[in-house]
Amino acid sequence: MSDTTFLKFRLGRASFGLPVAQVEETIRVVALAPVPARVQGLLGIANVRGRVIPVFDLCETLGQPRRALSLRMYIVIASLGAAPVGLLVDDVLDVVSVPEGQYQLGGALGGGDSYTAGVARVGEEMLTVLSLAPLLVPAAAGRAAAEPPEGA
């Protein structure tokens, strides 16, 4: 039996997770440059050590109410081998290892939404594990909106 490791973070009152293999780093909120073309959830772009990274409000993406930016928030920089994307979260809580028997894939939950990869039991708490792939679709649109037009 093998364990699966997740980055555990908070959005509002709920805890979520992403597989650590998809997480490059976490940083405190930085200044974001606005992007003229609005893609749902896109807050702007961040310059992180010379890399341009679109940053999305994960609350808005998941259908939760948008909230004001705070210096106490974090940006989780994640990728699936493609260009990275930044995800605004309220707090980064921990890195947790979950035994195989305590993790249930999303398909076994009766469908669910496309953002849910599964659910993990961490102690007494249920952790919704997010699928990064659907989050990268709007990120690609945000990255395209941030690029200068050809010939400019």
User: For 35-79, how does the pLDDT look when each residue is reduced to its tens digit (9 = 90+)?
Assistant: 876 677 889 999 999 999 999 998 888 888 878 889 999 999 998
Please give the pLDDT value at position 76. Answer: 97
Please give the pLDDT value at position 17. Answer: 95
Tell me whether residue 150 is in a domain. no
Does residue 112 have a pLDDT over 90?
Answer: no
Total structural domains within the chain = 1
Q: In angstroms, rounded to a whole number, what is the distance separating the alpha carbons of residues 121 and 146?
A: 38
Please give the pLDDT value at position 27. Answer: 96
Tell me whether residue 123 is in a domain. yes
Give 60 or 136, the one with higher predicted confidence: 60
Q: Which domain holds residue 102?
A: 3-145
Please give the pLDDT value at position 11. Answer: 92
Tell me whether residue 125 is in a domain. yes
Give 7 or 131, the one with higher predicted confidence: 7
Determine the residue type at 12: G
- Residue 98: closest CA among 115, 117, 82, 79: 117
Tell me whether residue 134 is in a domain. yes
**Lowest mean pLDDT segment, chosen from 3-12, 18-27, 81-90, 128-137:** 128-137
CATH number at residue 99: 2.40.50.180
Can you state the percent helix, strand and coil of the chain, rounding each to 5?
20, 45, 35
